[in-house]
Amino acid sequence: MPKKSAPPTFADTLAQLEALTARLEDSDTSLEQSLQDFEQGVQLIRQAQQSLQEAEQKVQLLLEKDGKPVAEPFQDPGAEAQEGE
């Protein structure tokens, strides 16, 4: 029975997208290859979006207290330094 390979990491997906982008920008790439690369790129983008959604859900779960989401305003550390000047 063949082993199932682990899904690619988010970083791997981005690296593949960067490589596809470079090939698509190359004027020597054939139309057929460009279409295949574009199709693969769309699949990779969907994978990346799924990974981001899963990460967001995990963060939301970690921020919940007593089953209720806790919203905290974002404090930019650079803004505090500017306010004190």
Q: Give the rounded percent of residues in the chain with a pLDDT score beyond 70.
A: 72
Nearest Cα neighbor of 50 from 82, 7, 80 is: 7
8 vs 20, more confident: 20
The pLDDT of residue 3? 63
Q: CA nearest 47: which of 21, 10, 2, 1? A: 10
Q: Look at the alpha carbons of 35, 36, 37, 40 in this order and tell me if their dihedral is positive or negative.
A: positive
In the predicted structure, residue 80 carries a pLDDT above the cut 60: no
Contact 41, 20 (CB under 8 A): yes
Closest alpha carbon to 15 in 46, 44, 51 = 44
Q: Identify the three-state secondary structure at position 9.
A: coil
Instruction: Kindly report, residue by residue over 25-49, the tens digit of the pLDDT.
Output: 999 989 999 999 999 999 999 999 9
Q: What is the pLDDT of residues 10-23, one digit of tens each?
A: 999 999 999 999 99
